[in-house]
Structure 1
Amino acid sequence: MVWSGRWVAERLGVELVSPEQETGPDSAGARAPEPLHDLLGLALRRNPKRAHLLVSNVLGKHVPQRPSLVHGAGVALGREVRALLGDAEAARAVVLGYAETATGLGHSVADGLALAPCLHSTRRPVAGVATAGGFEESHSHATSHLLLPADPELLAGDGPLVLVDDEFSTGNTVLNTIRDLHARHPRARYVVVALVDMRTPADRAHLADFARETGARVDLVARASGTVRLPDGVLEKGQRLVAEEEARGARERHRGAGSAAPAAPAAPAARVDLGWPAGLPDGGRHGFTPGHRRTLEAALPGMAARVADALGDAPGRVLVLGFEELMYAPLRIATALQEAGVDVRYSTTTRSPVLAVDDPGYAIRTRLVFPAHDDPADGPGERYAYNVAGAGFDTVLVVVDSTADTAELHGPDGLLATLAPHAGRVLLAVVPSYVPPGVPSAPGADAVPGAGVCSATVPRPSVQENSVLPEPLRGPVFSSYAPDEVGWLLRDLSDVSLEAPTEEREEAIQAGGAHYAESLPVEYQPTEEYQELFRAALEESAGRIARAVGVVTETVLAERSPRPVLVSLARAGTPVGVLMRRWAQHRHGLDLPHYAVSIVRGRGIDANALRWLAAHHDPADVVFVDGWTGKGAITRELAAAVEEFHAAAGLESAPGGFDPEIAVLADPGSCVRTYGTREDFLIPSACLNSTVSGLISRTVLRADLVGPNDFHGGKFYRELAGSDVSNDFLDAVTARFADVTEDAVAEAKVLQGQDRAPTWEGWAAVTRISEEYGIHDVNLVKPGVGETTRVLLRRVPWKILARRGAGADLRHIRLLAEQRGVPVEEVDGLPYTCVGLIHPRYTRGATGADGTAVTAK
């Protein structure tokens, strides 16, 4: 038989390497090694981090397989775990499977343990259910996981926690989960279970380091182990190959268009009443107990008989097709049909896009595409069924839960109609979507859709009835950052014309006719001289920035949360958030979630973004991140906005709300406790606008563009890609981490022992300067190198105050001021390196009190 990974292996040089024997302190080692080629094939997908995809032959996701083999693989692993733990500890264990691919596998492992309750993570919000945690799976197509047990105590015990995934590649997802849950409910033992363990030696070391760090024992049980050997350049070569194959497929479809007669409308799928037991959960989204398992086992023969009656006397070859996370219920129905003598295979639909190539040496030979049909939180999108077309099935039994039994499922391009040309007939069985007792199932319940990750004891913030917030935008679709670096909680306004000349904006803003967030300045296009200055500044300051990143990140990890959720204030804070995330990976092996949100002076932080965060993470873990402080206006704005949000959500006196304190790279205004430095120095990311911030604009808030259920807006300037230095900046600083680690860690420890209470000396200085220069609106005084740069790039400056003797940190300021005809006045006793002044009586062509022209050149 041809190996289903040969096509990829031959073209990319990818190898699956099996060890001679499975040994090691983190492996069960109870079984002779199983050939990886029997378990895995290879396919390709569009992914900026990993082009190849390991495709399991025994998971029942992408490859239709005999249900007894799929269920049996998980049961066998569960029995190994039971033998490892012993009966007494196995009886205290809880099994946690990962959505979407390992939900059925997790259930099957729990079946092998016999007495263990099962829970699986979910990407589907469920209104009214408080979460017990959440985490990110950065390499996945859909990254955010929620834990929504009906019983909050399910994960609070001290017995072994058994974490089940189909593939253990780097171990980051599992370690992220354990860190999150261990911080809440420490326990002595964890067991990681996977069909295949494909970690590198370095990844194995991370698991051992984690066990030493927590003092917990972590065991690993896998059916097979090995490594993936990748040649140099495989990612780029794989991306080109995907693009070529997609283009070839498009040409073939174009040539075939019109050559065949239009297909007749598909007949409606016949429904099969399963007789699902009342009150039995459809799966482990909210927990599945041994009692539930006994109820299901007792009901399975009757359900199989009902399906067999619908199949008739000559059922032929049957596929039971599950639906995304709903894997276990259709799997067990399929096993019962197989036991009744039906020739049956089992697989499920998925949200993961994979290239299809019709070759026996490729794991995904055909692909069916149809719209999502369960009102997903991330909005409309495509879903897929693999290896179904052309497989010769006489009947496809589609099994969905009632939440997914929608008009989209039955539409002319829906799943049922898409399947019809590829099977003799299509049947539909609907399992009632389980709602935990006490949770309102009707619309209008006072709960967040997908009620999120505050502790179960914290009241949930409410949102408008039936409102569903979108998922974060990610690169490369929105921003030039890699998708795992940051998720933007913004609305994409890239196609909207929002730019206005700087002079017109300034006049309208000061006249009170417009808010600065209602329009955008025309993006500054740096001269070659200025770009060279940026490159020189980056070379000079990368080490100093790296050290400040290390200090602030170490302080956050020590004082705020062992696994914080970084939330940067778009856009100046976003490069800092990315760097802090990279430091956590470099120093601690952490894969921290990072999002960017909008905050607007005078209008507060985006409340919908806070609602989304509360629905996906514990607010107590959220750490707001910004680049620097000036006079502290945004610091005060955030504190007031969070207080208002808590009051609206009823969280004023409850623990576990958002902490409004910002963590910044530089705090020259002495406005915060958590910072990397209080020096006012040049941070090169302040030198530019979007071209150093992922090509994202400043955020926009305008009533005709941002609705009540929208995030604040922003633009992605794709057309500026040729000038983009966003990743150059990040990489230059990251490259200095190793050089400064020891000093940064030591400095952070010293700071943690000091009184770092804000003195607000920056605010006092701004007040003094505004009085001295006759500017009675402190918002027109912009202190610090970063804020002064913004004045020169975005506003109409009057003059620049520079601390006498300031050197390299002001080279770009002097150049910009010269280009715009703005005087630079050197002064003594300035607490900042420089301060930018905007004249309070700006009109085009006007002059200031001293006769200085208030114009922009």
Structure 2
Amino acid sequence: MEYTADDVLRVARRHNNEKRSYLLVNPLQGKHMPVSPSLALDMMQALGAKVAKAVPHARLVIGFAETATAIGAVVAKSLADSCLYVQTTRETLPAAAHAIEFMEEHSHAPEQRIAAAALEAHLAETEAVVFVDDELSTGRTLLNIIDQLKAALPALAGKKIIAASVINRLTAKRRERLFAAGVECVFLVGLALGDYEAQAAAFLTQGAAETEALSPVASCRTIALSRRATPRMGLPIGDYMAFWRAAGESFAAEIDWAKDESILVLGTEECMLPGLLIGKVLEDEGWESVAFHATTRSPIGISEAAGYPIAAGRQVKSFYGDARRTYIYNLRPYRHVVVVSDTAHEAREALESLLRVLREAGCKDVLYLMSRES
């Protein structure tokens, strides 16, 4: 399938961000807007097919957090089950990861890290390295991390480098700069220059509302899953996706929900792929109304104006740290909600905060699927 800007692009206003006033929202990505898991994965697989055609023997893929963690994983799977997938993270990595830090300059949370140890162990096994993001706009973040990785990992200098993205809006001058640095671009949709700041400014927006801290919260059922590895530390993508597909199949076999009841599978921040895969299993098993999206650290302006993508938003506590604010957008009533998280944090307060918001939105039955490292 060929994708167009109409398929993958909506313009929103960032809230209280002086570095960049607008945000490009992809309605098929499963981050800020609910989407069918199948439609989201179809888009990601389309990008993966293009990457596999360009560099079929690549065996190392790096996906950028938050929004491209699932996209990067699907691109890696498109190359081979054995492909090593590493996602960048804003979370703290263990000392054994030999983390390299870099800055995503325009972001609300600019500090990112990557596990250099995983990359170093696998650079000899690939002729190309693929960096995956949802959007490539200036190339600054990408060149920043490539420079730092080459300094720390000299073997990277001899590899072909691919910048894969759903959207590419680089100017000719910026594309030349990337090419001079040895970076080739693969993308689904190329965009002409546009004044996105003006498009975003045309809408009058407000920030996401605070949660109601005093209302009582009912408990929810919790299912604990153990897992052996995390993409933050690097892993063969085939094993990881097979684990979550099997977890989805086991979950689907346990529930007795009517096939016409609405279901939301909700990921937490960087944890997107597990929920997408579980949602896809539910669709494959015959549930007719399944949606997926995730909480996010991005503060986005909300507006009910026609044509604006973020119509509602609530602030919730983070599953990854008590002091962090996160948001959930475009929430609507669902009969069932499955929250999927890979946090190592106890997250009791975060779960209560999210439960409160889900109940207030009219969601009836909530289940928490918690993944912990074994």
TM-score range (shorter-chain normalised) is: 0.7 to 0.9
Q: 2: distance between equivalents of 1:132 and 1:124? A: 11
Q: 1: distance between equivalents of 2:189 and 2:75? A: 16
Q: Alpha-carbon deviation of 1:200?
A: 1.8
* Residue type at the aligned position of 1:397: V
Q: Compared with structure 1, are the counterparts of its residues 147 and 155 closer, same or farther at alpha carbon in structure 2 (3 Å cutoff)?
A: farther
**Structure 2 partner of 1:286:** 233
* Residue type at the aligned position of 1:41: R
**Preserved CA contact (<8 Å) 2:13 2:205:** no
- Matches for 1:574-723 after TM superposition, within 5 Å: none
- Matches for 1:373-412 after TM superposition, within 5 Å: 373-375=319-321, 380-388=323-331, 391-411=332-352
Q: Alpha-carbon deviation of 1:393?
A: 2.1
Q: Alpha-carbon deviation of 1:49?
A: 3.0
Q: Secondary structure at the match of 1:432?
A: strand
Q: Compared with structure 1, are the counterparts of its residues 266 and 196 closer, same or farther at alpha carbon in structure 2 (3 Å cutoff)?
A: same
Residue 223 in structure 1 maps to residue 182 in structure 2: no
Higher relative contact order (CA 8 A, sep 6+): 2
Q: Alpha-carbon deviation of 1:70?
A: 1.1
**Preserved CA contact (<8 Å) 1:402 1:430:** no
- Matches for 1:191-340 after TM superposition, within 5 Å: 191-211=162-182, 218-230=183-195, 234=198, 238=201, 245-246=205-206, 265-271=216-222, 273=223, 276=225, 278-281=226-229, 283-289=230-236, 290-306=238-254, 308-309=255-256, 312-313=257-258, 316-340=261-285
Q: 1: distance between equivalents of 2:240 and 2:339? A: 23
Unaligned runs of 5+ in 2: none
**Structure 1 partner of 2:69:** 103
Q: 2: distance between equivalents of 1:374 and 1:341? A: 33
- Matches for 1:825-844 after TM superposition, within 5 Å: none
Q: Compared with structure 1, are the counterparts of its residues 292 and 393 closer, same or farther at alpha carbon in structure 2 (3 Å cutoff)?
A: closer
Q: Secondary structure at the match of 1:316?
A: coil
Unaligned runs of 5+ in 1: 1-30, 212-217, 436-857
Q: Quick one: which of 130, 154, 158 aligns to 2:97?
A: 130
Q: What are the Cα deviations for residues 625-671 of structure 1, in whole angstroms up to 9, with x where unaligned?
A: xxxxxxxxxxxxxxxxxxxxxxxxxxxxxxxxxxxxxxxxxxxxxxx
Q: Alpha-carbon deviation of 1:65?
A: 0.4
**Structure 1 partner of 2:54:** 84
**Preserved CA contact (<8 Å) 2:303 2:310:** yes
Q: Compared with structure 1, are the counterparts of its residues 291 and 398 closer, same or farther at alpha carbon in structure 2 (3 Å cutoff)?
A: closer
Q: 2: distance between equivalents of 1:122 and 1:407? A: 22
* Residue type at the aligned position of 2:261: G
Q: 1: distance between equivalents of 2:178 and 2:68? A: 20
Structure 1 stretches of 4+ moved >6 Å: none
* Residue type at the aligned position of 2:344: T
- Matches for 1:447-526 after TM superposition, within 5 Å: none
**Preserved CA contact (<8 Å) 1:269 1:425:** no
Q: 2: distance between equivalents of 1:43 and 1:321? A: 21
Q: What are the Cα deviations for residues 85-130 of structure 1, in whole angstroms up to 9, with x where unaligned?
A: 23xx23xx20100011111111111121123121100111034433
**Structure 2 partner of 1:166:** 134
**Preserved CA contact (<8 Å) 2:93 2:99:** no
Q: Alpha-carbon deviation of 1:360?
A: 3.5
**Structure 2 partner of 1:51:** 21
Q: 2: distance between equivalents of 1:71 and 1:195? A: 12
Q: 1: distance between equivalents of 2:119 and 2:49? A: 27
Q: 2: distance between equivalents of 1:285 and 1:77? A: 22
- Percent identity over the alignment is 29
Q: 2: distance between equivalents of 1:111 and 1:367? A: 33
Q: 2: distance between equivalents of 1:263 and 1:146? A: 36
* Residue type at the aligned position of 1:77: L
* Residue type at the aligned position of 1:172: R
Q: Alpha-carbon deviation of 1:314?
A: 5.6
**Structure 2 partner of 1:605:** none
TM-score by length of 2: 0.88
Q: 2: distance between equivalents of 1:374 and 1:161? A: 29
**Structure 2 partner of 1:762:** none
Q: Alpha-carbon deviation of 1:402?
A: 4.3
Q: Alpha-carbon deviation of 1:405?
A: 4.3
**Preserved CA contact (<8 Å) 2:25 2:309:** yes
Q: 1: distance between equivalents of 2:294 and 2:300? A: 14
Q: 2: distance between equivalents of 1:352 and 1:36? A: 22
* Residue type at the aligned position of 1:383: T
Q: Alpha-carbon deviation of 1:39?
A: 1.1
* Residue type at the aligned position of 1:371: K
Q: 2: distance between equivalents of 1:230 and 1:191? A: 27
**Structure 2 partner of 1:119:** 86
* Residue type at the aligned position of 1:78: G
Q: Alpha-carbon deviation of 1:79?
A: 2.1
Q: What are the Cα deviations for residues 150-170 of structure 1, in whole angstroms up to 9, with x where unaligned?
A: 646345435211110001111
- Matches for 1:553-592 after TM superposition, within 5 Å: none
Q: 2: distance between equivalents of 1:410 and 1:299? A: 21
Q: Secondary structure at the match of 2:344?
A: helix
**Preserved CA contact (<8 Å) 1:39 1:57:** yes
Q: 1: distance between equivalents of 2:112 and 2:351? A: 28
Q: What are the Cα deviations for residues 819-838 of structure 1, in whole angstroms up to 9, with x where unaligned?
A: xxxxxxxxxxxxxxxxxxxx
Residue 348 in structure 1 maps to residue 348 in structure 2: no
**Preserved CA contact (<8 Å) 1:149 1:287:** no
Q: What are the Cα deviations for residues 708-743 of structure 1, in whole angstroms up to 9, with x where unaligned?
A: xxxxxxxxxxxxxxxxxxxxxxxxxxxxxxxxxxxx
Q: Secondary structure at the match of 1:370?
A: strand
**Preserved CA contact (<8 Å) 1:131 1:146:** no
**Preserved CA contact (<8 Å) 2:86 2:234:** yes
**Preserved CA contact (<8 Å) 2:62 2:72:** yes
Higher strand share: 2
Q: Alpha-carbon deviation of 1:409?
A: 1.6
**Preserved CA contact (<8 Å) 1:405 1:430:** no
Q: 1: distance between equivalents of 2:145 and 2:270? A: 18
Q: Alpha-carbon deviation of 1:298?
A: 4.1
- Matches for 1:134-149 after TM superposition, within 5 Å: 134-148=101-115
Q: Alpha-carbon deviation of 1:230?
A: 1.7
